[in-house]
């Protein structure tokens, strides 16, 4: 199996660019999408790193958001003359272990010609714990219990959800499922793709023996009395996209899979986080409200900050969350 890797950059730091050389040597083809908008210095640094380390760099300028970046990179890799059978997705914060590609090749050799998406266990460095592995029957979710002490001996298991970073997408899966939904732009893009896989009977697999260390958001905890409140501290725009896209997924997939309403519980959790543990409450709560309204009315795509509803522009501090 010939594997490729796709990495998405957004205002990358030097150490993140430096990690790409090792990734280039670990697979048959590496494509890096620089999704940084309007930042000449960042573009130059990414270009210089690509020229030095010998991989393909494509400037995307955040067109279509994270979904657009995935689509540009996957289209390029799957169109290469030297056939690529599967592509691993990473973002610039992913620390890819040496065992990643050997383990994924060992799994994929049993899936030749079949559609699949496979991913490692994700260790969230910000929270200091593994993300839960979940399965679903379309109505509810259940946690997949793993014997942590025996993970090296565990076989891949079917699961319901994978985050995009670390996921290996087979050519057949991308053919069956199509492009990532650029109307969502960012946030829950991978959630929608997982529901699409469920709808098209494309299996998702967790590879428990493989661990990817990853930073998810700018997570912190704030103690209020007996409560220990986790906060992601996303800027107001990310709160908008998360709420809007969760509602869109519920309306799109909920009639067939009631479990598609679960992401909206995360929106409720975000409201609690903002109220109890974050700054810039007014801007973020307003963004969540309008996100829910736009999700209900099907108004998707990139956020238009010139719209009258955003006339009272947030401060620089609010934009940074």
180-228 tens-digit pLDDT? 999 999 999 999 999 999 999 999 999 998 999 887 766 666 776 676 6
Percent of the chain surpassing pLDDT 90: 72
**Shared domain check, 125 and 7:** yes
Q: How many CB atoms lie within 10 A of CB 5?
A: 26
Say what the pLDDT of residue 276 is: 85
Which of 165, 186, 214 corresponds to the end of one domain?
A: 214
pLDDT band at 149 (very low <50, low <70, confident <90, very high): low
Residue owning tokens 């896209």: 245
Is the distance from CB of 55 to CB of 20 less than 8 angstroms?
Answer: yes
pLDDT band at 125 (very low <50, low <70, confident <90, very high): confident
**Shared domain check, 285 and 188:** no
Say what the pLDDT of residue 320 is: 45
**Shared domain check, 89 and 151:** yes
SS3 readout for 57-113: EEECCCCCHHHHHHHHHHHHHHCCCCCCCEEEEEECCCECCCCHHHHHHHHHCCCCC
**Shared domain check, 191 and 288:** no
Question: What whole-number distance in Å separates Cα of residue 169 and Cα of residue 179?
Answer: 12
**Shared domain check, 190 and 233:** no
Domain with 31, as residue range(s), is 3-214
**Shared domain check, 125 and 47:** yes
Question: How many domains are there within the chain?
Answer: 2
**Shared domain check, 273 and 191:** no
- Strand, coil or helix: 141: strand
Is the distance from CB of 288 to CB of 270 less than 8 angstroms?
Answer: yes
> What is the value of pTM for the model shown?
0.92
Give the residue among 1, 69, 6, 62 at the shortest CA–CA distance from 37: 62
pLDDT band at 44 (very low <50, low <70, confident <90, very high): confident
Q: Which of 53-67, 108-122, 191-205, 230-244 has the lowest mean pLDDT?
A: 230-244
Sign, CA dihedral 210-175-64-285, equals negative
């Amino acid at each position: 199996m010939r594997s490729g890797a796709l990495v998405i950059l957004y205002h990358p730091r030097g150490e993140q660019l430096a990690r790409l050389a090792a990734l280039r040597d670990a697979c048959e083809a590496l494509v890096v999408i620089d999704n940084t908008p309007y930042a000449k210095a960042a573009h130059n640094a990414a270009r210089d790193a690509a020229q030095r380390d010998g991989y393909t760099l494509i400037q995307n300028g955040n067109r279509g958001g994270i979904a657009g970046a995935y689509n540009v990179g996957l289209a390029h890799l799957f169109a290469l003359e030297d056939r690529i059978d599967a592509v691993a997705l990473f973002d610039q914060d992913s620390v890819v272990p040496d065992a990643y590609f050997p383990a994924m090749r060992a799994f994929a050799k049993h899936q030749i010609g079949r559609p699949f998406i496979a991913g490692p266990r994700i260790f969230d460095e910000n929270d200091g714990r593994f993300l839960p592995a979940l399965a679903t029957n379309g109505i509810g979710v259940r946690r997949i219990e793993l014997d942590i002490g025996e993970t090296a001996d565990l076989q891949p298991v079917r699961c319901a959800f994978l985050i995009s970073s670390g996921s290996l997408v087979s050519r057949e899966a991308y053919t069956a499922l199509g492009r990532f939904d650029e109307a969502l732009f960012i946030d829950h893009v991978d959630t929608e793709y997982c529901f699409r896989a469920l709808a098209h009977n494309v299996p998702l697999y967790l590879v428990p023996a493989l661990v990817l260390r990853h930073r998810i958001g700018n997570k912190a905890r704030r103690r209020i009395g007996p409560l220990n409140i986790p906060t992601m501290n996303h800027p107001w725009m990310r709160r908008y996209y998360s709420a809007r896209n969760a509602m869109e997924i519920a309306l799109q997939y909920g009639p067939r899979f009631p479990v598609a309403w679960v992401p909206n519980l995360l929106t409720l959790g975000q409201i609690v986080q903002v109220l109890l543990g974050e700054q810039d409450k007014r801007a973020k709560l307003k963004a969540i409200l309008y996100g829910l309204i736009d999700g209900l009315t099907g108004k998707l795509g990139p956020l238009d900050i010139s719209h009258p509803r955003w006339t009272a522009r947030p401060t620089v501090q609010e934009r940074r969350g």
